[in-house]
Structure 1
Amino acid sequence: MLTDEQKESRVNFSRNFLRRFQTEQNDFLGRIITGDETWVYSLDPETKRQSAEWRDFDEPRPEKVQRKQGALKVIHMNFFDMNGVILRWPIPIGTTINAQYYKKVLQDKLRPAIRKKRPGLLESGILFHHDNAPVHKARAVTDVLAGYKWELLEHPRYSPDLAPCDFHLFPKMKEHLRGQRFETEEDIIQATKVAIKNLDKCSYVTAFKDCL
């Protein structure tokens, strides 16, 4: 349960977000880049609705597949804006994700991807958003963002429902992957790439407007 302080933080975030949108309109939303990390497993069992099927009254119910403990999994780091995914970065298995690693992704992967796919954003001014994970809040990371002159949008603690990656991109991506079984790390990476490519591009606009 959220404390009164945390609830107030959520309200202030939403008010500030709405206030800026009312002032700047789509120029505000169009400059936001948001990102986060998520696990993608070798098997993500189907939901009850996905696995539902017609069967005769006396036909036995099919056995539901369960994910085994210790199953193969890959962390995917994704960054996107209103126009779609800018960077999809699968993190090699065994990699320690600390502030230095995250900083290198911002420097060596994300910034070049922005320069290639959204060159105008670097000139218009990026509004950067990620959650309050310790890695994201580390001094090494905030110094890089300050050096790039990217404005960091505050995110209230314990509020995944206010993070577009958590309420939009990752659920939709994983919905495409449910029920599939992958044997190798590369299988997971390629399937995730296809799942993201197949997402409706208009839904990225909706993801940001849902924050209002």
Structure 2
Amino acid sequence: MEWKHAKSPPTKKFKSSRLTRKVMVIIFWNSQGIIHIDYLPRGTTMNEEYHGIIVRQSIKKKRQGKLRRGVLLHQDNAPVHTSRVSLAAVDECGFEILPHPPYSPDLAPTDYHLFPNVKKHHRGRRFEDDHELTTAVETWIQDQEKDFYRQVINT
């Protein structure tokens, strides 16, 4: 409500802008680059079963030759990562989870290194469809030098 007299000009109303459509991406990466990238269908979210499948199949498969040295898995405390099914998959594969203190987003390299750089590179661009966006993101990821991933993991 707004107080005004009878001869006041009408209040200006701003048009609400269209909501930005979002594409949910799942990325696992290490100091050498991307291990797994996947895009969820629109309207779905990551669930514990899907997370378990990715850990069991994709990560274990791509880390085949390096499993002898052990795998340290660093992920945040999102409910899907700490669910019984996800933790069972990690344990089944013999991976070790690095502890992640609650409310510490500054310790998740994907949140402070990878995603901000992807967003900065594509800021201001309009994509016709999801396929064009995913192609642009994957091209950017492939164009990164090995040091891009290594510098964060080794610090």
Question: TM-score w.r.t. structure 2 length?
Answer: 0.82
Matched, 1:88 2:37: yes
Aligned counterparts of 1:109 and 1:204: Cα–Cα separation in 2: 19
Work out whether 1:138 is the aligned partner of 2:83: yes
- What is the match of residue 58 of structure 2? 109
Partner of 1:26: none
Which structure would you say has the larger Rg? Answer: 2
Cross-structure match for 1:60: none
Distance 1:187 1:114 in 2: 29
CA offset at residue 203 of structure 1?
A: 2.1
Looking at both structures, which has the greater relative contact order when contacts are Cα pairs under 8 Å and sequence separation is at least 6?
1
Q: Which of residues 92, 99, 110 in structure 2 aligns to 1:165?
A: 110
- AA partner of residue 83 (structure 1): Q
Q: Are 1:131 and 1:155, in contact at CA under 8 Å, matched by a contact in 2?
A: yes
**Residue of structure 2 in register with 1:155 after alignment:** 100
Structure 1 residue runs without a partner (length 5+): 1-66
Which residue of the other structure, out of 182, 187, 201, is the alignment partner of 2:146? Answer: 201
- C-alpha distance in 1 between matches for 2:70 and 2:37: 22
Fraction of identical pairs, as percent: 35
Do the aligned residues in 1 keep the contact of 2:77 with 2:100 (CA within 8 Å)?
yes
For these two proteins, the number of residue pairs brought into alignment is 140
Shift of 1:96: 3.2
> Which stretch shows the higher mean deviation, 196-205 or 139-148?
196-205
CA gap 1:74/1:133 in 2 versus in 1, 3 angstroms: same
Q: Which has the higher strand share?
A: 1
CA–CA separation in structure 2 for the residues paired with 1:196 and 1:106: 21
Match for 1:98 among 33, 41, 47? 47
Task: For residue 101 of structure 1, report the CA deviation from its aligned partner.
Answer: 1.9
Q: Is the 8 A contact 2:23 2:40 kept in 1?
A: yes
Shift of 1:206: 1.1
Please state if 1:78 is matched with 2:27: yes
CA RMSD of aligned residues (A): 1.8
Shift of 1:195: 1.5
My pick for the range that moved more, 70-79 or 132-141, is: 70-79
Q: 1:126 aligns with which of 54, 71, 74?
A: 71
**CA displacement, residues 132-168 of structure 1 (integer Å, 9 cap, x when unaligned):** 0011000101011111110110111111111111111
Choose from 175, 180, 183 the match for 2:120. 175
Take 2:136 and 2:43, find their aligned partners in 1: how far apart are those partners? 20
| SS of equivalent residue, structure 1 residue 74 | coil
CA contact (8 A) 1:87 1:110 kept: yes
Structure 2: 5+ residue stretches without partners: 1-15
